[in-house]
Chains A and B, each alone.
Chain A
Amino acid sequence: MSRNRLVGLLLVIALLASLSVGLVGAQDKKILVTGRQMGSSDIPTIDPAIAEDVPSVQIIDEIFVALARPNEETAALGSGMATWTVSEDGLTYTFDIMENVPWVRYNAEIDAVEQLVGADGTPLVVTAQDFAYGILRSLNPETAAPYQYVLSPWIVGAPEYSNGEGAAEDVQVAVVDSNTLTITTPAPSAVVPFIFTMWVTMAQPQSIIEEYAEFWIDPENIATYGPFALKEWVRGDGGSLTLIKNPLWPGTENIPVPALDEVVFRFLDEEVQLTEFEAGTLDVAEAPDTEYARISADANLSASYFTGPGTCTYYYGFNVEREPFNDARARQAFSMAIDRETLTTDVLGAGQIPAGLFALPTLNAAPTSETFPDIGIGTDLEGAAALWGEYLAETGKTAADFNLTLFHNESGLHATIAQAVQQMWAETLGVNVQIATADFATYLDTRGNYDVYRAAWCYDYPDAHNFYYDAGWHSDLLSENDTHWSNADYDALVDQAFAAPTVEERAALYAQADDILVNTEAAIAPMYYYVTNDLTAPYVTRTHSFITREYYEKWDINR
């Protein structure tokens, strides 16, 4: 054997040996691989000030922790980074922030998460100042945060500052000492603590952000403090993001130290996730609605399948400025003529729930059909035909006089649903409705110009206020409401519910408001509540969240 060959052989042996060592090492670690469908090819950001979509918030919620944190299985509010007390007038919240929670970063050279040190060599920990900086940065008009308007109404001085008219000093967020923060809200409400579960209120590392500008969220720059840290981020469709356990996270009752060593999010379309799951290369996958029949027919897949409450309500909005929908009876008739049962079982068939009210029943303070059986809208074909007949007789028109257009964006099952509803309206009301479609951006820009448009509202925080106020039906937000509908009684009820002290009182007021929105005024026709469908390998122990993000620190793998 020549010398070169010998050297080559030794190299190959060395390579194989190092590979096998690597494999053994990998098997000891608990690494969970999960799929994530990305709307726009990548996780748009993991900057808490700028995020506005579910995949971004999922990552942010695991590497930063808000002051408060909802329980993912009950939506009940618990402490996050702080416990809090409220002043007697209900306006000032004092947050007592956990001490000695280190700012950390993953160091690729030593393959470990380490605590960061300041310029003067002192180890960095999360302080009230970091939270105050985070809140102000989210509100700063120069940050151009899409969610500033969800946060600003809740803090005195914030709306003016975020509009560019006020000063940062006038925003009522005060650092009392390194672990105490007070925030003053303009009106007392039970909703306030939910606002402090949101990502825009999280602590942000000022020195890091000032040093690296928008690139501070890159893995080699970022500073985080939550139960997981950012290990790797391969950008683009088909890329991945890897979280690594933060061993320096102290662990609390609500947010324990993770059992998993790493969580890998692979950005895959749902169809690809299903194939990967069948190949055994994904531990958890999102299940495509369209594959429900195949999954339920397959013994292995159906055993791994889970359906739980979703986060959105699907609805049709009626343009109240156009005939016939300028008359509430016409709107009611069209809403009642939608056979929601047929729609959810025969057209969709993945466990979706027919909706008679706008708000999701799982939200805090939301009315439900069980507690308030007499409110809301239901399918009533005969009633719809009678109402429509009454309207036609009074106006002297016939169904053929109307040339109506239903508008939706080109995606998913919207077309199938629109065709089904088109047929229902033709059969029950004798109206032939045209269907128009557009890509998402055009649709958003122009849907207010059509007679009926499809839409869905998905909540930002799990309280009914987000549905009744932020969704745009309150006249404060009329400019963003594409039905152009507003109603003084509705506004009054939502305002009262906002200020009401108990969940029961609030739900009762919201029930009346919902009845106006979907029944007596019928500005919109709620159709169904979304469900979340996923597949989990049998060796994974997990919780099933219905608040849009999973808390992986409570998960485990036992192969």
Chain B
Amino acid sequence: MVRFIVRRFLWMFLVLFVVSAITFVLLRAVPGGPFNSERGVPAPVQRSLTAKFGLDQPLINQYLKYVGDILVPRITDSTFKRTLTEDYLINIDLPFLGEEAAFRWMNFGPSLRVRSRTVNQLFLENLPVSIQLGSAALIVSLAIGVPLGIVAALKRNTRYDYASMGVAIIGVSIPIIIMAPLLQYFFGVQWGTLPVSGWGTLAHMIMPAFALGFAQSAIMARLTRASLLQVLGEDYIRTARAKGLSEQKVVLVHALKNALIPVVTIIGPLFAALVTGTFVTETFFSVPGMGRYFVTSVTNRDFTVVMGTILLYAVFLVLANLFVDVVYAWLDPRIRLS
């Protein structure tokens, strides 16, 4: 198990390396740069901007510097001053090495467009918001989807089944661009029970988490239903029933545990997608998360932010899949990690 996890971590670094190289090359291949503006930027200004952010260096040097700033840790003394180009994600004081000595690691660089912000700050301030929203949405989707799926499977081809699957179909058919304004109109404007947009309190979280989670719950419900139906037909379930176990115990302990394996499989990538920011939901509800940066940084050619967000997404994706693999082994001991 430990060897498995260690090996997956090593693979992750390789994946990140490839992802970063491809992203870097693609970004520079498209026309337009971060300093373009409608009014036209005169050559001297363009020169000082590119020089300030090192974009006048050869591409390979830029890439090596970027990777180096992230990977290579530094030990700094009291002469260190935090600036836009030297802002580290991990800062640990080392009092035994002298006053103000510190270990610093992972500098993702400054945003080229938002001229007062580093990619680290964006991770520290906006990522937690997306993680909160994404986690809440995931909980909503599980809380709605799994029970619906169980009911539908147990009461197969009855009106309970049709009703459950009907709800699921509605969830998957109403896109967030319809759901969000409807929720905002009724709960925000007409009844005034919930804030229309913004972030900060639990009340702010309800509508976006529901809108996001409800759509996903439909997938969960259908998966749970199909999988549970299949498991319920297995021999060992018949054995469990023959032993005289209560129906409740048969379903919840013996059947459901195995039936959830496909659900867990999609939770991994879904979690990575939800917690690194969801553009449409965050835009509709004006949630200060990561979602919008994914899109605006590309259209703005904000090279460092694009690199940072893509790498972040890759890390989450790899970690979530690793987590899923570990959960597999727990759900079904026949699956061996090696």
Interface string of B32-50 (1 = CB under 8 A from A): 1111111111111101110
**A278 & B114 in contact (Cβ 8 Å cutoff):** no
Pick 21 A–B contacts, CB within 8 A, sort by A: A141-B48, A144-B52, A145-B45, A148-B45, A148-B48, A214-B83, A214-B110, A237-B283, A238-B198, A238-B286, A275-B184, A275-B189, A275-B197, A441-B32, A441-B301, A443-B32, A444-B32, A444-B37, A455-B38, A477-B42, A479-B43
Main secondary structure of the interface of B (DSSP, over half): loop
B contact residues around A281 at 8 Å (CB) = 195-196
Q: A213: CB under 8 A from chain B?
A: yes
A contact residues around B42 at 8 Å (CB) = 149, 477, 479-480
Interface string of B167-202 (1 = CB under 8 A from A): 000000000000001001100110010011111000
Nearest CB of A to B223, in Å: 32
List the one stretch of B7-15, B115-123, B251-259, B307-315 in contact with chain A. Answer: B115-123
* Partner among B30, B37, B48, B81 whose Cβ is within 8 Å of the Cβ of A164: B48
A472 to B299, CA, bound (A): 25
Given A44-B116, A279-B189, A281-B196, A238 contacting B45 (CB threshold 8 A): no
Q: A419: CB under 8 A from chain B?
A: no
* Partner among A42, A143, A444, A471 whose Cβ is within 8 Å of the Cβ of B114: A42
Q: B292: CB under 8 A from chain A?
A: yes
**A238 & B285 in contact (Cβ 8 Å cutoff):** yes
B contact residues around A472 at 8 Å (CB) = 39-40
Nearest opposing residue in chain B for A165, CB measure: B44
Q: A289: CB under 8 A from chain B?
A: no
A458 to B37, CA, bound (A): 12
Q: B288: CB under 8 A from chain A?
A: yes
Q: A404: CB under 8 A from chain B?
A: no
* Partner among B37, B52, B196 whose Cβ is within 8 Å of the Cβ of A275: B196
Nearest CB of A to B268, in Å: 26
* Partner among B30, B39, B43, B286 whose Cβ is within 8 Å of the Cβ of A272: B286
**A235 & B288 in contact (Cβ 8 Å cutoff):** yes
Q: A256: CB under 8 A from chain B?
A: no
A427-480 interface with B by 8 A CB criterion: 439-446, 455-458, 470-472, 477, 479-480
Interface string of A39-65 (1 = CB under 8 A from B): 011101111001010000000000000
* Partner among A47, A144, A214, A276 whose Cβ is within 8 Å of the Cβ of B196: A276
B contact residues around A278 at 8 Å (CB) = 189
Nearest opposing residue in chain B for A214, CB measure: B84
B contact residues around A240 at 8 Å (CB) = 198
A443 to B121, CA, bound (A): 30
**B296 & A238 in contact (Cβ 8 Å cutoff):** no
Q: A234: CB under 8 A from chain B?
A: yes
**A144 & B49 in contact (Cβ 8 Å cutoff):** yes
A146 to B196, CA, bound (A): 36
A contact residues around B184 at 8 Å (CB) = 275
Nearest CB of A to B227, in Å: 37
A46 to B114, CA, bound (A): 10
* Partner among A235, A440, A458, A471 whose Cβ is within 8 Å of the Cβ of B121: A235
Q: B282: CB under 8 A from chain A?
A: yes
Q: B104: CB under 8 A from chain A?
A: no
Q: B126: CB under 8 A from chain A?
A: yes
Q: A308: CB under 8 A from chain B?
A: no
Nearest CB of A to B50, in Å: 9
A445 to B287, CA, bound (A): 32
B87-127 interface with A by 8 A CB criterion: 110, 113-117, 121-122, 125-126
* Partner among B33, B114, B189 whose Cβ is within 8 Å of the Cβ of A441: B33
A contact residues around B296 at 8 Å (CB) = 40-41, 237
**A269 & B196 in contact (Cβ 8 Å cutoff):** no
* Partner among B32, B116, B125, B181 whose Cβ is within 8 Å of the Cβ of A445: B32
Q: B328: CB under 8 A from chain A?
A: no
Q: B134: CB under 8 A from chain A?
A: no
Q: Which of the listed residues A45, A238, A443 has the most CB atoms from chain B within 10 Å of its own CB?
A: A238
Q: A485: CB under 8 A from chain B?
A: no
